[in-house]
Structure formats: C-alpha cells, structure tokens
Chain A
Amino acid sequence: MDLNYLKKITKILAESNVDEIEIEEEGLKIRVARHSQNSGMVAPAQQQYVQSIASAVQERQTPVSTAPPQPPAPAVIEKKYTEIKSPIVGTFYRAPSPDADSYVEVGKTINKGDVLCIIEAMKLMNEIESDISGKIVKIIAENAQPVEYNQVLFLIDPS
C-alpha cells in the first residue's frame, strides 16, 4: 500500500462534495468516507479519521502477488469476519455508564440482538445491537472517542 496514494484519495475526498470514495483494483479495495460537512475539522478528529482509514485499509487488504512480504496472514483471516459499523456520527462508548463493565470484550460469544456498544450524539444514546451471533474478534473503535458514519467498530466471527 502506497501511503501517498492514500493521501491523494483523502485529498480528493476532502476537496469534493461526495461523502465516500471506493476504489477496487487488483484485489485491493479501499474505501475512504467522511460524514462531517465541516471543513475546519480539528486536529484530534483528523487524527482519529486517519487512524480509521488506516485500520479499514488493513482489514480490507487482500494480498496480491506483487505485494511486499509484509504480514499478510491477519488480513486473510480478517476477510471472513463480519463488520459492525456505526449507523450515526457520535461518541463511542463500550459501557452503559463510566463505572459499569463493558458490554463486550474480545473473545466473548454474543447472540443476535445483544448490545455491543453505545454511540452518543447530542445526548441521544444509541445502543448498537448485533445483527448476527458469533464471537468478538476485534474492537476497533476506542472508548469515548468520536466515530464517523459507517465506521467499522467491531469484527465478529460468525458462529
């Protein structure tokens, strides 16, 4: 993955009126998305944004013959996992209140309908319920950090 290429796509997105760009070539799929229309985004939000792009790319990468021999194994495994995405922009919380236990941890088996997290937007508390049963493989979003619309929050291994 050429980081300059990614930077170019991010720049095209930033200068355009569209919310999402998806490119697929030679088995490599990149999706860059934004939700905010506010051009003057802050440093922490930008940082978060770049991190989310980076993790999204890593998860979607399918090794091709010309790819450098970097750790391809996790990418192959992650391909079969189901992504749970955020339906709204807001703040991601792993627990119902600051002193409560997290809804889920990595390795936990979950059933369809179980609550995975809360996204808060302007004090509206949205619980995200899993639409599948399985096991939590990875928690991508960080507690109390902003998440974008359609950002991947969890990876689930369907049972």
Chain B
Amino acid sequence: MIDKDKILNNLTTKVIGRDIISFETIDSSNTYAKTLSDADAKNGMIIIAEGQTCGRGRFNRKWESQKERNLTFSILLKPESALNKIGLLPLLTASAVAKAIEAVTNLEVECKWPNDILINGKKTCGILIESTSTLKINRIIVGIGLNVNQELFPDGIRLTATSLKNEFGKTIDRIILLADILNRFEDMYFRFTQNDTKEYLSDWISRCKMFGKEISVSYFEKQIHGKVLRIDSDGSLILKSEDNEIKLFSGDVTINKQL
C-alpha cells in the first residue's frame, strides 16, 4: 500500500503532490486523471497505483509493470498560461526524472529523444504526456512509469528493458525516489511556465548521446534516415538527411549501429 504520509513528509513542493489519490490497482492512472471532472481535478494532484491493468504508452501501446515493485503515477496540471512550447515538456520531464534517479542511485542516466530514459543503454522509464485543449491547453497529464525494483522482465523486452535495482544492485526506497522526482518536477514546471527552460534543457542535452549519430526514424509508414544535428528551441529534432535539414516532431527513433 502506498504510504501517503511518507510521500508528504518528503515533499518540499508547493502544489505538486499535495493532493494524492492512491489505488492498489487501477486500469491506468493517466486515464483516471483524464476522466476526472474539472471540479475534482486539482492542479498538482498525483494519482498513483501499485498495479495497473491497462498501463499504456503512446497510441495505446501496452506498458507492463510488476505490482508493488515500481512507480506508476500521473501528475495532473491545469496550466493558466498558453504554453505554446508544450512540446518541450517531455524532454524537461525526462531531465527532472533523470536528475532524481542520479541523486538516489548515483547511476549515469541517459536521455533519448524525445522522452526515453535509459540506463546502460536499456529503457528504464516511460513517460506518456497527454493534454487536452480547446483554444488553449486546459489540462496536462504527465504519466510516468519507472522500473524501480522489478528484477525479471518478460522475454520480449528482456534485452531492451531494465530496472534501477538491476543496474544499481540494491533495493531502492520507492517513496523517497518518488518525492525526489516530484520536488524536481515542480522546480522544472514552475520555470517552464515562466519560459525558463535553460537549466533542464541543457541538462537533457548533456545526457543525450544522439548528436552526430546516424539514426532511422519511423514516422507512420515512412522511414527517414539522417544524422542528428541538434535539438531546436521547441524540442524538435533536427536531422541532416542528404542535403536537407529535417525538423521532426514525431517518430520512433533507432540509433544505427556504428560501423
């Protein structure tokens, strides 16, 4: 069972994590946060579950997580400003989570465009950010699935996924880690709403090993190949492909094996 008091005792935040809704099992914390009525949805609220029956990634891809070993939670935000550069939020969130993992475990944490967190080249954390808008963004749901103390992974992902425990060698206090993530997330988000992205974006860039590498991007039914030049100020990826510079907002990235 999630120890709410312990979370609250370790928070230094003003709004993030001050309201906690916890479940033993839920279909998906993002889905729950999306369907909350406007009156019930509080800015900064977190929804956390020990187990998810329908954890999901982008385009409803399944996210599997062993019960009571990991962190699966959503942060609900109700921004007041227009946030036209919201595409930066996945990168900035990844940076905040990476900093927290590093503080708790001392592991070297790598970020991969746009929202992947890797340790020793294996995926450790999935971030699914969903938002709703009419004329401006009304609600943002930051879903984070972090493999903390899970030791065994199914065959299909064993070579590409890992947990903090598998890399660090020790069981990690999930609540201390969660509070650290929330503390850093609030600092990042407050800065972001003031258009101050410098610190977390440069941290993200320093963790990204894609620059100068040849990559392939699947983008719907197309494949684009090119060399990573830089990240644009809106978070998009700039590739050099033949003689063109290509600006990407979407796509699944594979880093080509170096010859």
A binds B: yes
Contacts from A to B (Cβ < 8 Å): 35-38, 40-45, 87-91, 96-98, 100, 115, 120-131, 144, 146, 149
Given the known inter-chain contacts A127-B131, A149-B84, please indicate yes or no for A40 contacting B245, CB distance below 8 A: yes
B96 partner residues in chain A, CB cutoff 8 A:
none
CB distance from A81 to the nearest CB of B (A): 16
CB distance from B184 to the nearest CB of A (A): 19
Besides A98-B220, A122-B249, 13 other CB < 8 A contacts?
A37-B232, A42-B247, A44-B246, A121-B87, A121-B250, A123-B114, A123-B129, A123-B250, A125-B130, A125-B131, A126-B137, A127-B130, A146-B249
Bound: A78/B217 CA distance, A? 38
Given the known inter-chain contacts A89-B234, A127-B133, please indicate yes or no for A122 contacting B91, CB distance below 8 A: yes
A128 partner residues in chain B, CB cutoff 8 A:
132-134
Interface residues of B in 44-73 (CB under 8 A from A): 58-60
> Quick one: closest B residue to A45, CB to CB?
B247
Given the known inter-chain contacts A42-B244, A89-B249, A98-B59, please indicate yes or no for A124 contacting B87, CB distance below 8 A: yes
- A-B interface pairs (CB < 8 A), number: 118
Bound: A130/B151 CA distance, A? 45
B235 within 8 A of A: yes
Given the known inter-chain contacts A98-B59, A122-B115, A122-B236, please indicate yes or no for A90 contacting B249, CB distance below 8 A: yes
Given the known inter-chain contacts A120-B250, A125-B129, please indicate yes or no for A38 contacting B238, CB distance below 8 A: yes
Bound: A146/B247 CA distance, A? 10
B82 within 8 A of A: yes
The residue from B84, B91, B115 contacting A88, defined by CB atoms under 8 A apart = B84
B249 partner residues in chain A, CB cutoff 8 A:
89-91, 120-122, 146
> Quick one: closest A residue to B222, CB to CB?
A144
Query: Of residues A36, A38, A96, which shows the largest number of chain B Cβ atoms within 10 Å of its Cβ?
Result: A38
Bound: A35/B232 CA distance, A? 12
Interface of B is mostly: mixed
A42 partner residues in chain B, CB cutoff 8 A:
244-247
B84 partner residues in chain A, CB cutoff 8 A:
35, 87-89, 149
The answer to whether B129 and A124 have CB atoms under 8 Å apart is yes
A129 partner residues in chain B, CB cutoff 8 A:
132-134
CB distance from A133 to the nearest CB of B (A): 13
The answer to whether A126 and B133 have CB atoms under 8 Å apart is yes
The answer to whether B220 and A124 have CB atoms under 8 Å apart is no
The residue from A38, A87, A123, A149 contacting B247, defined by CB atoms under 8 A apart = A38
Contacts from B to A (Cβ < 8 Å): 58-60, 82, 84, 86-91, 113-115, 127-137, 219-220, 232-236, 238, 244-247, 249-250
A89 partner residues in chain B, CB cutoff 8 A:
84, 87, 234, 236, 249
A37 partner residues in chain B, CB cutoff 8 A:
232-234
Query: Of residues A35, A37, A40, A98, which shows the largest number of chain B Cβ atoms within 10 Å of its Cβ?
Result: A40
B58 partner residues in chain A, CB cutoff 8 A:
120, 123, 125
CB distance from B217 to the nearest CB of A (A): 12
B132 partner residues in chain A, CB cutoff 8 A:
115, 126-129
Bound: A115/B132 CA distance, A? 9
Bound: A130/B244 CA distance, A? 37
The answer to whether B115 and A123 have CB atoms under 8 Å apart is yes
The answer to whether A87 and B244 have CB atoms under 8 Å apart is no
The answer to whether B233 and A87 have CB atoms under 8 Å apart is no
Bound: A122/B91 CA distance, A? 8
A98 partner residues in chain B, CB cutoff 8 A:
59, 220
The answer to whether A124 and B134 have CB atoms under 8 Å apart is no
CB distance from A106 to the nearest CB of B (A): 21
The answer to whether B232 and A124 have CB atoms under 8 Å apart is no
The answer to whether B86 and A124 have CB atoms under 8 Å apart is yes
Bound: A38/B238 CA distance, A? 9
B134 partner residues in chain A, CB cutoff 8 A:
128-131
